[in-house]
Amino acid sequence: MTSTPERTIAVVTAGLTTPSSTRLLADQLAAAVRDTLDGRGVPRRIVVVELRDHAHDLTNNLLTGFPSEALREVLETVVSADALIAVTPTFSASYNGLFKMFFDVLDDKALVGKPVLIAATGGTERHSLVLEYAMRPLFAYLQAVVVPTAVYAASSDWGPHANALRTRVERAATELVDLLTNQPARAAVDPFENPTPFENLLNG
């Protein structure tokens, strides 16, 4: 009998207020993914990253070229995660600057082939396509595998339309878990452990 390997889900949320509706949405998505994995008997670990806590470190990383110790741990968590849930508020017709800074600092190969669920919040439903014209292209560029259902929550989704949001959250969570469980658990690649032999570089 082989035991199912543990899967790590990283949740990156770029909300700025406390509490933020972005965090609320992130928590709903994380809970739905957790319940779906539990239903299938897949051991899991869910790590939530509040980018607000690392805002200064992100700026410093852009200026100095290296992450602080705390930020390095966060980056490593996302790099080594089996899947990612990425949630941002909508600012000026796009993801906010904090969200973009994180993905600017993250190694551009970190998300290749990684299942990603994208979600956004906003004051009005009229921003909902931000997921399709801003978020999805960003993750397409990073060669992540983004699930078809992206989840947008406007102010009204926290009141009268909460049930409709619930349905979208669950559908997106199911899609992410389907993708995730069809992939082998990630093995970390360490360029310091396995350097390219110099003969290969010479014959490059």
Partner 1 sequence: MQFGIFSVSDVTQDPTTGHTVSEAERIKAMVTIALKAEEVGLDVFASGEHHNPPFVASSPTTMLGYIAARTSKLILSTSTTLITTNDPVKIAEDYAMLQHLADGRVDLMMGRGNTGPVYPWFGQDIRNGIQLAVENYALLRRLWREDVVDWEGNFRTPLQGFTATPRPLDGVPPFVWHGSIRSPEIAEQAAYYGDGFFHNNIFWPASHTKQMIDLYRRRFEHYGHGAADQAIVGLGGQVFMRKNSQDAVREFRPYFDNAPVYGHGPSLEDFTRETPLTVGSPQEVIERTLGFREQFGDYQRQLFLMDHAGLPLKTVLEQLDILGEEVVPVLRKEFAALKPAHVPDAPTHESLKAAAERAQSMESLSTPESVVEEVKR
Q: Which is nearer to partner 1, 123 or 195 (CB)?
A: 195
Q: Which is nearer to partner 1, 39 or 195 (CB)?
A: 195
Enclosing H/E stretch for 45: strand 44-50
The whole-angstrom separation of Cα 137 and Cα 55 is 23
Nearer to partner 1, 19 or 192 (CB): 192
Beta strands in 100-185 (DSSP E): 115-122, 145-146, 151-154
Taking the complex as a whole, how short is the minimal distance between the CB of residue 107 and partner 1, in angstroms? Answer: 11
Nearer Cβ to partner 1, position 160 or 198? 198
Token output for 48: 């939530």
* Closest distance to partner 1 from the beta carbon of 72 (Å): 8
- State the minimum distance, in angstroms, from the CB of residue 102 to partner 1: 17
Strand ranges (DSSP E) for 92-131? 94-95, 115-122
Taking the complex as a whole, how short is the minimal distance between the CB of residue 204 and partner 1, in angstroms?
Answer: 5
Q: Residue 173 Cβ, how far from partner 1 at the closest point, in Å?
A: 36
Question: 43: which DSSP letter?
Answer: -
> What is the spatial distance between Cα 204 and Cα 201, in angstroms, rounded to a whole number?
5
Q: Give the nearest distance from C-beta 202 to partner 1 in angstroms.
A: 6
Residues near partner 1, by CB under 8 A: 59-60, 63-66, 68-69, 72, 191-192, 195-198, 201-202, 204
Residue 41 Ramachandran class (φ > 0 left, ψ -120 to 50 alpha, else beta): left
Of 148 and 197, the one with the shorter C-beta distance to partner 1 is: 197
**Closer of 187 and 202 to partner 1 (Cβ):** 202
CB 23 within 8 A of CB 120: no
Q: What CA–CA distances, in Å, run from 59 to 10, 48, 99, 183? A: 21, 20, 12, 34
Contact by Cβ (8 Å): 203, 196: no
Measured in degrees and rounded to the nearest 5, phi and psi for residue 68 equal -65, 170
